[in-house]
Every structure is written in structure tokens, then in C-alpha cells.
Structure 1
């Protein structure tokens, strides 16, 4: 870990609610609570940018942050996109997928849900989103106060992956990625992050937020393979380079 730190966040007063405890989505033996944004004035792209830097994230129209009394495992993670140094493995993934076509979409399309449904019903049969429905998809992916961009990934004419990406004034936020499990050998989750890094660079945004990192949850550890990265720990962004 690099010992350098970013300056502490300026004090901000927020109107939030606290959910009851419920089973943790990442660590089955734990209970989780969430801080949920209650201030209607904060539900806009400009203020969401600020909230991302404070460790918040959205699910559909809601903005939340973990707030668990007995556990601090969830830490926000982000990349300074112009500082990322790709590993040999990440370069191989780019090369392996050089035949794919990437298009930026700016509105929801029916084919996104069909792909999402295939992904959820194949990959997440034990999760809370199974079985996938159109209502659940729209409630989770879309927000009336923010229009995400959709990074579409095609093999020939076939849509095989979509990375739902929120766009702010200084960052992208990787909201959710889903793909056709038949193409799993292409490492499309990692490929989607690589595309989001390139997209942020191309439109001049310095940051890419990757959501929460939970070290004890193995399925999330792909995020820390992008170096250097930053974690929000006790209110400060700390840089990890190895």
C-alpha cells in the first residue's frame, strides 16, 4: 500500500435514513445496514458526483452507503484512469477481444433486458435478483434523475455484454455489467472495466468508480487487479499500488 493519502473530505451535512439490519449481500454470516439518502435536493448528477466521493452509490433511483455497526468490510474503490498501468493479463484480455465492437448507447433498449435476464437467470440463481423481471431490471438499472450510458459490446451483430455506466462531471461510475454466459471465456467483466477506463480517458474524466470492495468476497477481488487503485478508508482516499 502506498502511504500517501488524499486530503480528508470537507464536512458535509446530509439528510439520510438508516435501514433495519438485514442479511449481508456479500458476507452471509454478517448483517448489514444502509444509509439511504433522504434529501430530494441531492438527486441530481452534480450532487451525485459529490456523493460518490463520499462513498455513496446508487441502486436505481436510490442512493445509499453501507453503515454497519460491527463490520467495515465494504470500502469504496476508484481508479485514477490516467494512472492505471495494465497488467500482462489485462493486455491479453484486450488482445483476445480485439475482434469485438464497442458502441456507446445513451438510452435503454429492449435487447438490454433480454441479455440481463439471460445473465441473472444463469449466473445469479441464488441471489435476490433471481428470477429476473422487466420491472426489477428497470427498478435496479434506471433512475429518473440520471441518464446512464450503456457500453454495448458486440460479437459480429450479436450483443454479448452491456456495461451500465453513470456519467458525472469528473467521473464515470461502473453501475452494473451483464453479459451472455456463453462468452464467459472472454473475461467480459474485466473487458468492460477496460472499456470504461478508455471511455473516461476519451471524454476527459479523471475517475472511474468501481463500487465497493470486500476483500473477504472472492468474486469482487478482480477490482483490485487494476493498479494503482484507491480505497475510501475512514473518510480518506488511500492509494494502493501493489
Structure 2
């Protein structure tokens, strides 16, 4: 691993997930992160975009919970099986990072159509096409037409979901859920133990879809231990 900037803590800003909370990230900049180092960082709760590695250091909240699926134990739920059945015309393909105009156009439409946000080509390149570790690109096709794409980091024992986007016109096929199910299955096929799905935030509706992938493990920031979660969603935690 080559570190460009040692770890430091950002100033507090408004939390994008929970009202009335303030967030701060500990972050560093690095490249040439190998598969073993990537697995270790993910197992300690780090996330990344491009060269930017981060994890929350919020003074009053510990609700960004790292989540990973145990690939060998996972089986789709009834609702997820319905998504697979409805998406019989969908196909996920995996390969090296490859930027095209069509990929960026999908990202632009997704940003504007789903979040009413303008896209920035430079941010897109920095976040997804300036790799700091081994990575893969997911491409999702419907009846031969590219309708979605995403990015995965690869560790020695895991895949890590970085981001996925799709044409909003195909939202009725639940391409986000389909892509996660496909990526979990791909991790199984290549013999990996875990699939990381970022942070789960109890109480945040935007993160609610992550609660449907079970059994899974959550990381405890205090103990540094991963524990299996089977029951209902956890209540938000406030740090006194």
C-alpha cells in the first residue's frame, strides 16, 4: 500500500442519513492496495471511493454499521426470488473497469432521475475509474441492452460493493436488488467468503433495502467484532 496522506479527521458537517445528527469521517489517501490489505481494511469498517478511504468518527452517533453477507450461507428471500423471476431477461456480466460514454450516460440519468442531482464527469472519474485496489465492473443487460452498471473492489476473501446505478426507466425490474443478488452469486462462484454492502443505518429509509439480505454480519465499532444478525432491524444508537 502506498499512502499519499496519513489518516486525519474531517470537520463536523450535517449527516446525510439521519436528521439532527452531525457526521465526521476519519480518512486517508492511498493507492496500490493489494487484495489482502483491502480485505483487512473492509474488516475494520473502512469504505472507499477512488484513492479516498474513510470511516465514520461521529462524536454522538454509531449508526453507520458496516455490513457483510456470508456468501456460503446466503439464500434469496421470497421477495428476492420474485425479483429474480421478474428479471429473467436480465443478465449481469463481470469484467475489468472500462469507461464508455454509455456508462457515464447511465450514471447521469440515474443521478438526475433518482436523486435530482447533477452529475460531474470529474467526480465520476475520480470515484470509480482511479482504482486504488483490484476492482471489477458489473454491467447489467436487459434483453441485450445495457441498463445498469456498478463497481466492486476485490479482496482476498471478499467482494465489496462500491456503487451501482441504472436507467430509471427500468426501475420496475428492481435492478439494484438484482445486481446485489448477482454479485453475491458471483462471489460464491469464485470462492469468496464475504460480500460487503457498505454501511447500514437503522432509521434511514434510503438504507432500508440492506435489511433484506440475511443472514449477515454487522461490525461493532467498540469491540471490533463481527456478529451475525438474524432478527429485526436494530434501534438507532446514541453515544452519550
The 3 A distance-change label for structure 1 pair 99 and 72 is same
Output one character per residue of 1:68-112: Cα deviation in whole Å (capped at 9) or x when no partner: 011111110000011012211011111111111221121222121
Please, what is the CA RMSD of the aligned residues? Answer: 1.6
Whether 2:194 is the aligned partner of 1:194: answer no
In the other structure, the counterpart of 1:35 is 26
| C-alpha distance in 1 between matches for 2:19 and 2:126 | 24
TM-score of the superposed pair, with normalisation by structure 2: 0.88
How far apart are residue 143 of structure 1 and its match? 2.9
Higher mean displacement: 139-148 or 219-228 = 139-148
The 3 A distance-change label for structure 1 pair 65 and 42 is farther
Q: Is the 8 A contact 2:25 2:55 kept in 1?
A: yes
| C-alpha distance in 2 between matches for 1:147 and 1:178 | 20
Q: Is the 8 A contact 2:87 2:173 kept in 1?
A: yes
SS in structure 2 of the partner of residue 25 of structure 1: coil
| C-alpha distance in 1 between matches for 2:139 and 2:31 | 32
Q: Residue 240 of structure 1 is aligned with which of 224, 229, 235?
A: 229
In the other structure, the counterpart of 2:105 is 114
How far apart are residue 188 of structure 1 and its match? 1.1
How far apart are residue 42 of structure 1 and its match? 7.6
How far apart are residue 16 of structure 1 and its match? 1.8
5+ residue gaps in structure 1?
1-14
In the other structure, the counterpart of 2:49 is 59
Q: Residue 231 of structure 1 is aligned with which of 203, 218, 232?
A: 218
TM-score of the superposed pair, with normalisation by structure 1: 0.87
Q: Is the 8 A contact 2:97 2:129 kept in 1?
A: no
SS in structure 2 of the partner of residue 77 of structure 1: strand
Structure-to-structure mapping, 1:1-242, within 5 angstroms:
16-37=7-28, 40=30, 43-110=33-100, 111-125=102-116, 130-233=117-220, 234=222, 235-242=224-231
What is the total number of aligned residue pairs between the two structures? 223
| C-alpha distance in 2 between matches for 1:89 and 1:185 | 14
SS in structure 1 of the partner of residue 74 of structure 2: coil
In the other structure, the counterpart of 1:6 is none
SS in structure 1 of the partner of residue 73 of structure 2: coil
